[in-house]
């Protein structure tokens, strides 16, 4: 073994095995590793999470086909819209599967026409027409498992 290969081996062995560094994120990876909160838990009591910065997990079921600025995460029949902060990154329209996102939960009151658009064009629950309030995660980053191919 040469001195160069020995030093390379020692250097690689000394690096921490941080999964977040090895994953591909759309946007920014979280600054620190954290345990994700399941989307179903956030959706069950959304007001509890407003203003909280957190990592959420779920399954991507839909993505904005226009600009990739939002995705819908689902878990146990509950959904949460994930929105790219300031359109700072795009989620590929074909991305589907297990995912995590980090950001801040926000409560947003919707105008009647916006709620109707979300129900008719984006597949949101019709209950949104009766109570036009959306809880969503304003995300700094999203990671979809296996996308792009690792």
Q: Does a structural domain hold residue 150?
A: no
Q: Does a structural domain hold residue 14?
A: no
Grade residue 14 by pLDDT with cuts at 50, 70 and 90: very low
Number of structural domains (the chain) is 1
Which range scores top for mean pLDDT: 64-68, 79-83, 100-104, 127-131? 100-104
Grade residue 9 by pLDDT with cuts at 50, 70 and 90: very low
pTM of the model: 0.76
Q: Does a structural domain hold residue 5?
A: no
Secondary structure (3-state) at 55? strand
CATH number at residue 70: 2.40.50.140
Backbone angles phi, psi at 23, to 5 degrees: -90, 155
């Amino acid at each position: 073994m040469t001195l160069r290969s020995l030093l390379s081996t020692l250097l690689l062995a000394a690096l921490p095995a941080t999964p977040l560094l090895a994953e591909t994120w759309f946007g920014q990876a979280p600054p620190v590793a954290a345990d994700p909160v399941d989307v179903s838990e956030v959706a069950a009591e959304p007001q509890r999470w407003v203003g909280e910065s957190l990592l959420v997990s779920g399954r991507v079921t839909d993505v904005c086909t226009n600009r990739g600025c939002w995705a819908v995460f689902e878990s146990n029949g509950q959904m949460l819209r994930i929105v790219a902060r300031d359109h700072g990154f795009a989620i590929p329209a074909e991305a589907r599967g297990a995912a995590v996102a980090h950001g801040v939960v926000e409560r947003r009151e919707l105008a009647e026409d916006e709620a109707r658009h979300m129900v008719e064009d984006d597949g949101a629950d019709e209950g949104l027409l009766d109570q036009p309030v959306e809880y969503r995660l304003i995300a700094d980053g999203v990671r979809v498992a296996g996308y792009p191919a690792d």
